[in-house]
Structure 1
Amino acid sequence: MSELKNRYDFVLLFDVKDGNPNGDPDAGNLPRIDPETGHGLVTDVCLKRKVRNYVQLIHDGADGHDIYVKERGVLSSLHAEAYSRLGLKAQEPGAEAAPDSPKGEGKGKAEKKPRKSSEVEVVRKVRDEMCRRYFDVRTFGAVMSLKEANAGQVRGPVQLTFGRSLDPVVSAEHTITRMAVATQKEADNQGGDNRTMGRKTTVPYGLYRAHGFVSPSLAKQTGFGEGDLDLLWKALVEMFDHDRSAARGLMATRRLLVFRHASALGNAPAHKLFDAVSARRKDDSKPPRDFSDYALSVGSVPSGVEVMELGG
């Protein structure tokens, strides 16, 4: 895979209609909202999950495009598999601990011994193997320094911010009815009516904006290459088409605006490039209910930066 030699910054615009884009489990799974401004929020973790799911769907766990953080996964077992593939033996849990004082002093205290160079080299090899096999480790990084089968830490070259709606959103709560009950006892109590009432919360409409960054220097450390970058763009554009559910309503990536720098260090600050992207409501007298209610524009960018528009 060819090495990444250019820095990238990008703006992701996506929307939701009559759905919950990212429920908050600490608030009864209500849509996440900034309590001070009323703007809707979607976490970076939520967006990364959709990218992971897309890659898993497309490549079906193939070597080099497997996913490290996936549903019902056991991370330590994946580390053990990496040790096994390399023919290495994982260090036993607690083997690095040793008393920090002579016998009789500081009972129960322990400190870590400096790791031997051979141990450091083993962890490095396993870390590189994890990067090679797992797309999300290579892309987003991971903390893999578990007590069992330590695989080190990886700082990912691709980072995402929270998505934030361009305008305040309002959570609409709806009563829903299921024409069935779970048990015969419930049916007997209702005299055969067999209705179950529930609640559903949606956002009528929200256009969200998130920002992202791709570092070629960190990409070199994880092995993230041009092929991975192409897959990332494809995932960001198409991820909502493969993540449908009744709770999420209608969601879509509307635009992916990518700023490609001519150099590895970059030719302009990211915030200045992001300021060049504007999405404003066409009519402030009524609440937005569709992407067509917004006008998108991209201003001039500094020399050495190319703008690519994907999605839509």
Structure 2
Amino acid sequence: MSTLQNKIDFAVVLRVTHANPNGDPLNGNRPRADYDGFGEITDVCIKRKLRDRLLESGQSIFVQSDDRKIDGARSLKARADAALGKKLGSSETAKLACEQWFDVRAFGQLFAFKSDKKSKREADSEGDTGVSIGIRGPVTVQSAFSVEPVDISSTQITKSVSGEGDGSKRGSDTMGMKHRVDKGIYVFYGSMNPQLAERTGFSDADAETIKQLLPKLLENDESSARPAGSMEVLKVIWWKHNCKSGQYSSAKVHRSLAVQPDGGMQLDTLDGLSHEILGGF
């Protein structure tokens, strides 16, 4: 199977209605926003959702979340040991990992190993802290930002029962807060680099798999903070260049898309660059 032959840029437009698209644990789990009030969904959050959709479609995924994992591995190290065995940590690690796991050959991965010294003191005395094998992936995803500042609503909630104590009175654990974005249109961008794809084996077929899953990115991702139907992908824009190096820079391609606060969009034509628009699922 040949590796990716053409540079690809893409964009995803999504709508949030009365949901918390990405809570900040350092800020009481309030929806993330920058200092200017624009809502944010981190790239890590987006790749988590994409990994989950890939896993549901039958792809082999290395970084599985604990509540969705399909094997008995209790850690990434355990999963790597089970798949690679004695070859884990060898010069073949990167090649075998890319062949084994879709997300590794797409997004890259850092495999870090502790020193094989018998004691930590012995390792530290010799300056041997272990070895790290880094894999740089060809698929990059930016954080999503709202096209205009978002309004965040906060609601105080109570539970009907106490989580602690004898139940004779309500404790502090029965009180809480929920936060949501009332409404917002978010956009995120991404790219696929053929030069880096040659190193990991990321193929045209892999790119097509991601393309087909992006419209379904928010399906099966419901929670109390994100009720079903409160988040939806509106459009996926897919630019395919006619060469490996790209006809235009990713920055220029991404700037050709202008998204309106109501979800509408305007797409400037770049000479010779083809694009495809997919509707949300």
Scaled by the length of structure 2, what TM-score is found?
0.84
Q: Deviations over 1:8-56 (max 9, x none)?
A: 0111111211010001111111111102x11011100000000111111
SS across alignment from 2:235: strand
Q: Gaps (5+ residues) in structure 2?
A: 67-73, 117-130
The answer to whether the 8 A contact 2:87-2:93 is kept is no
Question: Within 2, Cα distance between the matches of 1:253 and 1:215?
Answer: 24
Summarize the Cα distance change of 1:144–1:89 in structure 2 as closer, same or farther, 3 Å threshold.
Answer: closer
**C-alpha offsets along residues 182-215 of structure 1, whole Å, 9 cap, x if unaligned?**
35612x225xxxx944321000011111110100
Q: Among residues 131, 138, 161, which one is paired with 2:98 in the alignment?
A: 131
Cα 1:71–1:167 shift into 2, 3 Å: same
Distance in 1 between residues matched to 2:14 and 2:141, nearest whole Å: 14
1:170 paired residue number: 151
Match of 1:68 among 38, 41, 62: 62
Query: Do 1:127 and 1:151's aligned partners in 2 also have CA atoms closer than 8 Å?
Result: no
SS at match of 2:245: coil
Whichever residue aligns with residue 239 of structure 1, its letter is L
Would the aligned equivalents of 2:108 and 2:135 in 1 still touch at CA under 8 Å?
yes
Q: Does 2:17 match 1:17? A: yes
Are 1:182 and 2:163 matched, yes or no?
yes
Letter paired with 2:15: D
Q: Is the 8 A contact 1:126 1:151 kept in 2?
A: no
Q: Is the 8 A contact 2:12 2:188 kept in 1?
A: yes
Counterpart of 2:71?
Answer: none
Aligned with residue 219 of structure 1, among 189, 197, 201: 197
Shift of the 294–254 alpha-carbon distance from structure 1 to 2, 3 Å rule, reads closer
| Match among 246, 270, 273 for residue 301 of structure 1 | 270
Deviation at 1:66? 1.7
1:116-146 alpha-carbon deviations (Å, 9 max, x no partner): xxxxxx32x1211111111110110011132
Q: What SS does structure 2 have at the residue aligned with 1:241?
A: coil
Partner of 1:263: 243
- 1:238 and 2:216 aligned: yes
Query: How many angstroms apart in 1 are the aligned matches of 2:207 and 2:176?
Result: 43
> 2:234·2:263 contact (CA, 8 Å) conserved in 1?
no
Count of paired positions: 255
Superposed CA RMSD in Å reads: 2.1
Call closer, same or farther: CA 1:226–1:199 in 2, change over 3 Å: same
Partner of 1:251: 231
Aligned AA for 2:254?
Answer: F
**Identity fraction in percent:** 31
Please tell me whether the aligned partners of residues 164 and 209 of structure 1 are also in contact (alpha carbons under 8 angstroms): yes
1:89 offset after TM fit, Å?
A: 5.5
Partner of residue 126, structure 2: none
Aligned to 2:128: none
**Aligned mates of 1:189, 1:271 — CA distance in 2:** 58
Q: Which amino acid aligns with 1:307?
A: H
Residue among 153, 172, 177 paired with 2:134: 153
* Secondary structure, counterpart of 2:4 in structure 1: coil
What residue ranges of structure 1 are gaps of 5+ in the alignment? 60-64, 92-121, 282-292
Mapped partners of 2:108, 2:98: distance in 1: 8
Is 1:279 the counterpart of 2:259? The answer is: yes
Q: Secondary structure of 2:226's partner? A: coil
